Amino acid sequence: MAKSAAKPAPAPRRGSMPWLQGLACGALVTLATPTALLAGVLLVPTLIVFAVDRAPGRPVSRAVLLYGLAGLALPLGTLWSGGHSMDLSIALVTDPAAVALAWAAQGAGWLLTELVPLGIRLLLDTKAAAETAKLRSERAALTEEWDSGR
């Protein structure tokens, strides 16, 4: 009796990346709690965008994270140069200027990812309209020249 039943395809492996990310996050929280607290609060918009962004490669999340890290640089430098204590971390997290700067930077990153494609589309449409107008005027001139030659 021959085996005619096909073997089911093996389930795709997710790899060890989620485990490594979890391990790194746990090490950060354990070993650098003030840094984790500061980064966690100041990067809340990035976490929200990461949860919502389902595009392949997560381009919006990456842009927002980049701007968020730029907004996190000054408070993080202050924390590290000020002794890396929980008191200083809590003071920085409760500072409205630091939170506003970090969140505004992430908002700017999100806004750019939304506006740049629209700007490029507008530019390309304008160039296409100008090229179309030029070609129509050339066609009209050629039609006139052809008709006058008859």
- What is the token pair recorded at 83? 């002794």
DSSP structure string for 16-73: SHHHHHHHHHHHHHHH-HHHHHHHHHHTHHHHHHHHH--STT-HHHHHHHHHHHHHHH
This prediction has a pTM of: 0.68
Angle between helices 59-81 and 44-52 (to 10 degrees): 160
Domain ranges in the chain? 25-148
Q: What is the pLDDT along the chain (150 residues), one digit of tens a residue?
A: 555 667 777 766 667 888 888 888 888 777 788 998 999 999 999 999 999 988 898 999 999 999 999 999 999 999 999 998 999 999 999 999 999 999 999 999 999 999 999 999 999 999 999 999 999 999 999 999 898 876
Give CA–CA dist 143/146, Å, rounded.
5
